[in-house]
Amino acid sequence: MSVFEDITYEIDGPAAVITIDRPHRYNAFRGKTVEELIKAFRAAWADSRVSAIILTGAGEKAFCTGGDVKQRAETGDYGPTESGMFEIGNLHKLIRDITKPVIAAVNGVAVGGGHVLHVLCDLTIASENARFGQAGPKVGSFDAGFGSAFLARVVGEKRAREIWYLCRQYDAATAERWGLVNWVVPQDKLLEEAKAIAAEIAEKSPTAIKFLKQSFNADTDHQAGLSNLAMSALDLFGKSDEGLEGAKAFAEKRPADFAKFVKA
């Protein structure tokens, strides 16, 4: 098994627990983080001991706050990777394609690309202090693939547009009411409950679970094409003056000035 820097990986009974371990950046991911997550998910897929995967974040403040905007402001990208690519789109597809259920255990804030990750997971369990929302348009970013199209399948068109257009944050009770999460539990019970859910899944036929997951995904698999287009567009947009304005404003702790980019 690889030695990881940005994540931790452990097997606990029938569950593989993958933890984004960058609490100093509110578990925001850089290119290296994404590569390590892909390696961990593939390891869990291949491990016959694993019936379900739990994805969570280190500490109590954040599940994941998406791409590391400070890194992008400093270098114009998400840092070096082994492949030379920022593979967030491949991570999204892997969470869907892995034949074992993925449980998001949301401890704290899940915003931006971190919000997309939990939405893509099969199930979400949230701590009472969890908060959900999007930040992309505030920092010069977006996810016009799974992050928006699939979100609309989860919460409906009106709610999905609200989440993206307004960039507000919503508490765990609201997220549960909207169907954005399955359960809300006390902070100190979060991983315990996630592992209990994984144990329940482990009692079921793995082949039946595999076919069910693939069947659920079949209805929205066409969104992978949208995701490819969206990631290509985001790569171009992120290098534009408008995209860089959002990242610079975030790093400089000032409001972004997008007024000059408004077009007829």
Residues annotated as binding site? 78, 109-113, 141, 253
CA distances from 236 to 150, 214, 230 (A): 22, 32, 10
| Residues that constitute the known binding site for substrate | 78, 109-113, 141, 253
- CB under 8 Å to 226, separation ≥6 — which residues? 144, 145, 146, 149
Distance CA 239, CA 248 (A): 12
Task: For residue 165, give the DSSP letter.
Answer: H
Handedness of CA 127, 170, 141, 98 (dihedral sign): positive
With 0-12 / 13-18 / 19 or more C-beta atoms within 10 angstroms meaning exposed / middle / buried, residue 218 is: exposed
CB 108 within 8 A of CB 62: yes
With 0-12 / 13-18 / 19 or more C-beta atoms within 10 angstroms meaning exposed / middle / buried, residue 157 is: exposed
CB 73 within 8 A of CB 36: no
Distance CA 254, CA 195 (A): 41
CB 108 within 8 A of CB 171: no
Distance CA 8, CA 186 (A): 23
